[in-house]
Amino acid sequence: MQKTEIVCGLPWLSSKPERAIFDELQYACVYAVGPTGGRPLRIGWARQLKDRMQALQLGSWKELQIHHIAWVAGDMLAIRLFNEATATLDKAKRRLANDWFDITPEFAVQAIRLAAEKSGVSTLSHGEMLEKVRGIRRKRIEAAIRAS
C-alpha cells in the first residue's frame, strides 16, 4: 500500500510515476485558500499547487487551508476560470487587496463553479484529478504486464 502525502490537509500525489503523469497532463487549478476558519480567502491559479501553497504559507501569519480546488486542462483554462471568478467577486465588491477577498469558503466555491459554467470550462475536483492520474498509472502498468 502506498503512502499518501498530505499537503494543506489534502491527499497528494506521492510517487514519482504519479507526479510524472500529472506533469504530462499539464493540469492547472483555480483555488480558494485562507485561514482554517475562512475569511479572508485568496483566489488564485497554479500549476504546481503544492509549491504555491508552501510559498503562500511562508507569507501568512496563520496556518492556511485549501477550501476549494477546481482542476482544469492547462494554464489557459485556469487563467480564464480565475479571471471569471474574480470578476464575479469584484462585481460583488468583495476584493480586499490583490487576490484576497472578504468571502466565506462557500461563497468562493459558488463563484468558481459559476465561473466554470459561464465560461464553459470543464473542471475536476481534487479527488477526481488524483483518481484520473492513478487510473492512467494503473492502465500503463497493466499494459506493460501484458506486453512482457
Give the pLDDT confidence of 27-38 residue by residue, as tens digits: 999 999 998 887
Whether 136 has a pLDDT exceeding 60, the answer reads yes
Q: What is the pLDDT of residues 83-135, one digit of tens each?
A: 999 999 999 999 999 999 999 999 999 999 999 999 999 999 999 999 999 99
For the chain, give the mean pLDDT: 90
- Residue 2 predicted with pLDDT over 70: no
pTM score, whole prediction:
0.87
Report which of residues 69 and 148 the model is more confident about.
Answer: 69
Predicted pLDDT of residue 36: 83
Q: Residue 98's closest CA among 131, 54, 56? A: 56
**Averaged pLDDT for residues 44-49:** 92
Nearest residue to 30 (alpha-carbon basis) of 74, 65, 93: 74
